[in-house]
Chain A
Amino acid sequence: MPGPRALLGLGLLVAAARAGGRCRERGWSWSWNRGWNRGWERGWERGRCLPHRAMHSPGTARPGPAGLRFLGQEEAQAIDQELFTEYRFSVEQLMELAGLSCATAIAKAYPPSSFTTSQPAVLVVCGPGNNGGDGLVCARHLKMFGYQPTVYYPKRPSKPLFEGLTTQCKKMDIPFLPEFPAEAEFIDELYGLVVDAIFGFSFTGAVREPFGSILSTLERVTVPIASIDIPSGWDVEKGKADGLQPDMLISLTAPKKAAMHFTGRYHFLGGRFVPPALQEKYALNLPAYPGTDCVLQLT
């Protein structure tokens, strides 16, 4: 009498859609023994703020774990397309998981108790596309985690997905600013963190207004900036040496080549939804996420 598993294997299993075996190998288990550095709190207090650039010398980009691939723009777009067409995910689903990852990474690196502002106030700047949508989801989760997010969302696509996400935020008492703070100092005074959800991996060409002015202001801000997927304004592969210098980068799905130029303190991987088969196909070599966490700290 064959064992129960064999019996199930022989008689009962409908052939899985893919004939190949599963690859369980995720390589090494990435563990990074780095205590949470609260020293930055003292540096960021008003009146003693240091500009980002002074704290990080250019060109000290940290490499990721050995073997981890950094994607080019076309590759990133191809993977995205495959998730929607082959794997039948919806933008709605993946955006929810991506935004949750961003909020979770922020909660790990900048817990509410670490804010020097009296409330853990966060400014979320949302761009005109999917990166902006990720920002809206992130804002909603930040609210649930006890932060006080405020959104600036100047160019809103008239699609049900984005209208729905906007309504969800508004109904949860998340204010939407009518105009962008005119001065960087104003942002520094009101918020302890800025989330850059302006442009993502599809960004090409010139930055259109109002985002040019917004990015100029953000470049002068001294509170930490957390960029979703790509620091906005950067070339997705080459970066931008004189552009935004965020303190945190949350790479979604897999890091893009621009991340090699990232010199901020926190690089997280998020978007824990890539099926093993897709990971294999593109040889992403993603390190293992810890437990059920939807984020993985890379540096």
Chain B
Amino acid sequence: GPRRPPARSPRAPKSLPGVERGPGCARGLGTALSPVLSGACPQGSRAEAEAMEKELLEDYRFGRQQLIEIWGHACAVAVTKAFPLPSLPRRQPTLLVACGPAQNGAIGLVCARHLRSFDYEPTIFYPKRSPDPLHRDFTTQCEKMDIPFLSYLPTEVQLINDAYNAVVDAVLGAEGTEGTAGTEPCAAILATLRLVRIPIVSLDVPSGWAAGPGGSGDISPDVLVSLAAPKEVARRFQGRRHFLAGRFVPEELQRKFGISPREYPGSDCVVAL
């Protein structure tokens, strides 16, 4: 007679015997102790974020370009939720996207491209371009989407206030240290961002915040999009909207890094916190 399917165990999905399963299927025994529980990395710390990224790349075999694409797309979706097209004050849906030289900047480039496909008009300021071929491809993709690149950022802040509805801060993110935040061109960008009166959307960590304890010199973003999990410095965030772009994090990693599970609406990749 026909083979009957095996009785389902309470948690395992229906399947045929002999099914291949990855190591992630082991529950309880055998899973590595979370770096959080072992005390190695404080929760929300940069070390923990780096550990998670490492695991996504090495154990889960995500590609770096794939991850940046996922993050950039999620950031763009968050921007559209925080600033829906009909709500923008200016006649043109303009946005300034300030991109730093490292990964946070690359995320900004992908974010800008998706914003363009969502019918916003992003303009990119990307003064110090990464030599990484991956980042160069992201740049070409933006250029080919007719996204203009500014050759310099006006020091007269009023020009920025008048031209754009908001600024996307993809300058330093979690990579900002006291060293990088103080070097050019990031220092000049941050100096300008401190003075703009239009809202700022920071990607992952407001630029300059990771450099040290909060102070009057910090930029004050209106919106924060945390990637994977909120970082420790996000506790200082006092802006209007905080989004989490964490749907891509596999459940096992969420458990391992102590990320509380969240309900994402429908098929959205971001959730408002």
Contact = CB atoms under 8 A, between A and B. Distances in A.
A285 B73 CA distance: 24
Majority SS at the chain B contact face: loop
Contact of A92 (B22, B63, B150, B247): B63
B53 to A, nearest CB: 14
Interface stretch (A1-9, A54-62, A221-229): A1-9
Interface string A82-116: 00001111101100110000011001100000000
Contacts of A4: 158-159, 162-163
Contact of B266 (A86, A107, A150): A107
Contacts of B119: 24
B13 A164 contact: no
Interface stretch (A182-190, A204-212, A256-264): A182-190
Contacts of B80: 291-292
A89 B141 contact: yes
A275 B19 contact: no
B20 A93 contact: no
A164 B14 contact: no
B247 A8 contact: no
Contact of A12 (B2, B24, B152): B152
Interface stretch (A33-41, A169-177, A235-243, A246-254): A169-177
Contacts of B16: 177-179, 181
B65 A172 contact: no
Contact of B69 (A12, A97, A163): A97
B60 A121 contact: no
By size class, the interface of chain B is 35 or more
A97 B110 CA distance: 12
A272 interface: yes
A31 interface: no
A96 B140 contact: no
B235 interface: no
Contacts of B159: 4, 7-8
B26 to A, nearest CB: 10
Interface stretch (A13-21, A45-53, A64-72, A194-202): A13-21
A96 B66 contact: yes
By size class, the interface of chain A is 35 or more
Nearest to A176: B20
Given A107-B266, A150-B13, A172 B61 contact: no
A24 B151 CA distance: 25
Question: Most B CB atoms within 10 A — which of A103, A175, A176, A277?
Answer: A175
B77 A171 contact: no
A292 B145 contact: no
B238 interface: no
Contacts of A291: 80, 118
Contacts of B212: none
B19 A171 contact: no
A172 B19 contact: no
Contact of B117 (A176, A189, A272): A272
A4 B198 CA distance: 15
Given A176-B20, A177-B19, A92 B267 contact: no
A5 B163 contact: yes
Given A97-B69, A145-B267, A171 B148 contact: no
Contacts of B21: 170, 173, 175-176
11 contacts: A3-B162, A5-B163, A16-B146, A87-B140, A107-B266, A119-B13, A144-B248, A167-B22, A171-B24, A190-B14, A292-B118
Interface of A: 3-5, 7-8, 12-14, 16-18, 22, 24, 86-90, 92-93, 96-97, 103-104, 107-108, 119, 121, 141, 144-145, 148, 150, 160-161, 163-165, 167-179, 181, 183, 185-186, 189-190, 272-273, 275-277, 291-292
Closest 7 CB pairs of A and B: A170-B22, A164-B61, A167-B61, A4-B162, A17-B143, A171-B24, A88-B140
